Amino acid sequence: MKIPDLTELALRNLRESLLRNSLTTIGISVGVASLVAMLSLGIGLQQLASRRLVKSGLFDTVFVTSRRDLRNYDRDDQRNGPAPGESRILDEPSRQEIEHLPNVLEAYPDIRFITELRYEDKPHLTMVSALPDSARSNDAFEGMRGSFFSSDVAPEVILQKAFAEELLGKTPKPGADDVNVSELAKPLLGKELTMRYAQRQAAPSAPGAGADMSGPDKSALSGAAYSVVSREQKLKIVGISDLDPESLRGPMRAKVFLPLKLGESLHVMQPTDLRELSRAASDQPVYSSISVRVKNPKQVQPVEDAIKKMGFTTFSILDASRGLAQFFAVLYAFLGIFGSLALAVASIGIVNTLVMAILERRREIGIMKAIGASDGDVKKLFFAEAGAMGILGGIVGVALGWAIGQVISLGTNIYLKRQSLPPEHFWVVPWWLVAFAVLFAFGVSLISGLYPASRAARLDPVQALRYE
């Protein structure tokens, strides 16, 4: 029998026992809906986690240090390279070379130093870090009050909430998360801080540009290539971040943030300067480390390899990302198994319905065989009925699963809103899941139809025709 005829006969037969077949199809729909709901949740959570991680800037960033940094020498991948003393310096030409590698978005030096900030004439010693303009899209600043730096050279500053509390004389309670950033922002935004820092200068030449020279009290530290002078810089508070400084965020592990170009122009004396002192011949800065942002996390490995070839040490959190992928694979498997359980129960419903149909249509099968239907025709007809129930159940199930997802998503977002948390999009039904769910339901239905179909095909026509 041809496929269109089979389909037509199968649908006709399904219509004949409408209630029973509808109930069986609903059973399949519920099974598919549960599968779709579970997997959509898994996919949504994975995408949410990926989005969060990409936004955190950790998974698309490679941290580069010089091999001269002896802290790295014990690492296995460094042992085959040149000796630390012979390897390259991480200076501006190296940074530019790295920035021009394929798939690299930007490479910026990590400028971090401990210095004194004065607010209302009170000194506060803290860690200051410089951030590139691209950091404005980082999730670290999602809960920030105020605004990001107006430009890359603006004399502006963003404070971490704990430091803001310190400036206001409040004592942070250990373990307390409920610091209201808005309350901290009100008295601080627009106010001015004075940063006192040690500037590195080439001894014979003029002082570096861009620094606000308020203190002329030069104090030469070295008679060699450099001198170190004490300077002051006025900074306007533009934002208060609710970022936790203890979180692992590379350059963001500081309490005060400056724009990157401003940070560079200040030529603040950094710990590596002393180490590089004996080698550097010019006043070009030497960086302790460089952060390299790549286009997407998949390109981290090739970029890392390319930088290693240049003779530098690299570090990324790619391994953590791999672990995460493994975690989600396990989560998928669990959610898939739980989702499939309902479908397994539904498949028993299909077997039951079709076996009942054989009993009811015994005589009809006998008639068909008497007028020329082969065993194969009868088998295919029952398969077509099972398959039709599977496809219909699959389609309805996907719609049902999607609807369940929307309801749960809505409910959760209402809950998040009540908890003063931003809404999250954690429910995703990709097209491949729709296709997979319908095909899976079809496949399960066909498997369920195997026994009834072969039983119907084996029916003895003489016995079947006697059946009343």
Interface residues with another protein (CB under 8 A) are 1-2, 4-5, 9, 12-13, 16, 363-364, 366-377, 461-462, 465
For another protein, the closer of residues 328 and 382 by Cβ is 382
Residue spans of alpha helices (H) in 237-317: 260-265, 271-276, 300-309
- Of the chain, the end-to-end C-alpha distance in Å amounts to 27
Q: What angle do CA 64, 69, 71 make, to 5 degrees?
A: 100
Q: How far is residue 414's CA from residue 235's CA, in Å, rounded to a whole number?
A: 40
Smallest separation (angstroms) from another protein to the CB of 343: 30
Shortest gap between Cβ of 460 and another protein (angstroms)? 8
Nearest distance, CB of residue 451 and another protein, angstroms = 19
Q: How far is the CB of 373 from another protein (least distance, A)?
A: 5
As a whole number of angstroms, the distance between CA 251 and CA 260 comes to 11
| Cα angle 151-157-161, degrees, rounded to a multiple of 5 | 135
Asked whether 158 and 257 are in contact (CB, 8 A), the reply is: yes
Q: How far is the CB of 364 from another protein (least distance, A)?
A: 6
- DSSP secondary structure letter of residue 292: E
Q: In the complex with another protein, which residue's Cβ is closer, 5 or 97?
A: 5
CB of 377 to another protein, least distance (A): 6
Rg, the chain, Cα only = 34
Q: Token digits for 403?
A: 């609807």
Question: Phi, psi (5° rounding) for residue 159?
Answer: -105, 145
| Cβ proximity to another protein, 248 vs 462, nearer residue | 462
Cβ(292)–Cβ(104) under 8 Å? yes
Q: Please state the closest distance from residue 20 (CB atom) to another protein, in A.
A: 14
Of 1 and 447, nearer to another protein (C-beta) is 1
Encoded tokens for 306: 């390319």
Nearer to another protein, 255 or 380 (CB): 380
**Which residue, 17 or 299, has its beta carbon nearer to another protein?**
17
Q: What is the per-residue DSSP string for 109-128?
A: E--EEEEEEEETTEEEEEEE
> C-alpha distances in angstroms, 15 versus 282, 382, 447?
88, 14, 22
Smaller CB separation from another protein, 135 or 358:
358
Amino acid at 451: Y
Residue placing its CB nearer to another protein in the complex, 211 or 389:
389
User: At closest approach, how far in Å is the CB of 38 from another protein?
Assistant: 39
Nearer to another protein, 11 or 324 (CB): 11
Q: Closest approach of Cβ 353 to another protein, in Å?
A: 17
Instruction: Decide whether 9 or 404 has the Cβ nearer to another protein.
Output: 9
CA distance 368 to 1: 12
**Distance from C-alpha of 278 to C-alpha of 270, rounded to nearest angstrom:** 15
Place of tokens 């302790």: 288
Q: How far is the CB of 417 from another protein (least distance, A)?
A: 55
Contact partners, residue 236, CB within 8 Å, separation at least 6: 154, 155, 156, 157, 190, 191, 192, 193
Cα distance between residue 46 and residue 321, in whole Å: 11
